[in-house]
Amino acid sequence: MKLSLFTSLLFTSASAFSPGFEGKAPTSLRMSEEESSVKTTEPIVAEVEAEAEPALAGPQKVPCFGATPFYTKEPVFFGENYWDKITQEWGSAETGKYVRAAELKHARAAMLGTLGFAFHKLGFTFNNISPHEYLSVTQDVKFADLAAMSPIEAVKKIPIEGFVQIFGVIAIVELYEITHRNGKFAEGETVAPGLQAGGLTGDLGWNPLQVKITDDRRLAELQNGRLAMVVICAWLANDSIPGSVPLPFPW
């Protein structure tokens, strides 16, 4: 009896160290190990959730260059609500670059239009500075006849060939911006730089005077362009319908 009991105990102890043994630790020890593993994994889960929070926060606010200060501590940005919709709900930051470039191009066109309007009003017309008498010989359009008209009437007298030339120059500038990057023709591109997201910025890379481009100068150009858009609209309205603008005009 004693021998059989001793043999069974010996067999049990030896089998505990054999490869096929899958013994289990005491219940108290297993509980402490499980609690330890839970405590160890909790910080890792918290870190993963913290890293995932920004992705779940939604679109980030896109800053807009050109907010006008108006002598206040914080810049006042008119249209901020629509800017946020354009860059967050309807598009992205790249959409904002395109919208800003479109405003800049309209501003430049308005500045040229304002200068042309002023030159015509001041008498700096081609009949005084050009050696040619005719704008179009075939259409019998003289510079002197255009100078005697208002700017709006003079534009209406330009032949269709003249408008083709004007829009042809505009098309060349647009194609240049679409196909060039940093002033160089982009070779080997499957999609033209100007047709890529954020590709149109209004920067043509043309700076013959090597003027240093700073944010202050960029802002000055944008603000002058905004003023020119208001001025040319007011001038056109006043010349089309005299007295429609309740402000005194010098002409």
pLDDT at 65 over 50: yes
- Cα distances from 180 to residues 35, 96, 111, 176, 202, in angstroms, run 63, 20, 24, 6, 12
With 70 as the cut, is the pLDDT of residue 69 above it? Answer: no
Residue 91's domain spans which residues?
80-240
Q: What is the pLDDT of residue 251?
A: 58
* pLDDT above 50: residue 12: no
d(CA 223, CA 128): 32
Query: Residues 9-23: what's their mean pLDDT?
Result: 43
Does pLDDT of 249 surpass 70? no
Q: State whether the Cα torsion 113-114-117-118 is positive or negative.
A: negative
Contacts (Cβ under 8 Å, ≥6 apart) of 5 = none
CATH, residue 221: 1.10.3460
Least trusted range by pLDDT, from 6-15, 62-71, 198-207: 6-15
Question: Is 169 contained in some domain?
Answer: yes
The secondary structure of residue 195, as a DSSP letter, is: G
- Decide if 199 is inside a domain: yes
Whether the pLDDT of residue 120 is over 70: the answer is yes
**Number of domains making up the chain:** 1
Amino acid at 47: E
Residue 103 located in a structural domain: yes
Residue bearing the bigger pLDDT, 70 or 207: 207
149 in any annotated domain: yes
Domain assignment of residue 49, yes or no: no
> Does residue 44 sit within a domain?
no
Q: How confident is the model at residue 7 (pLDDT cuts 50, 70, 90)?
A: very low
Terminal alpha carbon distance of the chain: 131
Average confidence score pLDDT of the chain: 78
Q: Is the pLDDT of residue 23 over 60?
A: no
66 belongs to a structural domain? no
pLDDT confidence of residue 47: 52
Please check whether residue 52 lies inside any domain of the structure: no
Tell me the mean pLDDT in the region 155-182. Answer: 92
